[in-house]
Structure 1
Amino acid sequence: MAIVETSITPIGTGTPSVSKYVAKCHEVLKEYPDLEYQLTPMGTILEGDLSKIFEAIEKMHEVPFDNGASRVSTLIKVDDRRDKKGTMEGKMRSVLDKL
């Protein structure tokens, strides 16, 4: 199971606000009930099958274009650990236990 952080930024929208684009990108995630996700102030974290995550991100990347953006920048950070099952919650708990 992979944990992936992504940030999709529309460019050329005529406004510095991107929340409407973020909301529309998150609508795509409704098509993927098998993926866990968490919206953060700077991006979205997804947990699940890596191929499904990449598929969802590809669809999310298209959303700003479909809504008038002339350019889109998408950052993707992948944590694909295969020696044991990793989860968003487990990663957070591991750090908090050490604080």
Structure 2
Amino acid sequence: MPIAEVTVVPLGTEDTSLSSYVADCQKVLEQESEIEYQLTPMGTIIEGELDKIFEVVKKLHQVPFEAGALRVSTSLKIDDRRDKDASMSQKLDSVNKKLQKD
């Protein structure tokens, strides 16, 4: 299943703090039933079908505009592995197993 990392950044706002925008984006994600997501300090990881990921990212991109931002920069990275099943938890488990071998 595809895994994506998305970062939505409003530009040219009056405040350097972004946490209110992040919180508003998380509220959008809470309404989505066909994806899994995980907030990180630098973005959000989304797991789901590729079309759904694009749909959700489009919604997230709109959040700062709805809060008054006049410019938004959204970065999206997608890991779409087709040779075996992958998930957020599987990727973390794989690294943790390698760390335990040391």
Query: Which band: TM-score by shorter chain?
Result: over 0.9
Encode CA deviations 1:40-71: one digit per residue, 9 max, x unaligned: 00000000101101100001100101101111
1:47 aligned onto 2:52: no
Aligned residue pairs total 99
Uncovered stretches (5+) of structure 2, i.e. residues with no partner: none
Uncovered stretches (5+) of structure 1, i.e. residues with no partner: none
Q: Percent identity?
A: 56
Encode CA deviations 1:14-60: one digit per residue, 9 max, x unaligned: 11001001111111112311200000000000001011011000011
Q: Report deviation, 1:4.
A: 0.2
Write the distance in 1 (CA, Å) between the matches of 2:37 and 2:9: 18
RMSD: 0.8
What is the one-letter code of the residue matched to 2:96? Answer: L
- Map of 1:81-92 to 2, 5 A cutoff? 81-92=81-92
What is the one-letter code of the residue matched to 1:6? Answer: V
The two structures have a TM-score, normalised by structure 2, of 0.93
The aligned counterpart of 2:10 is 10
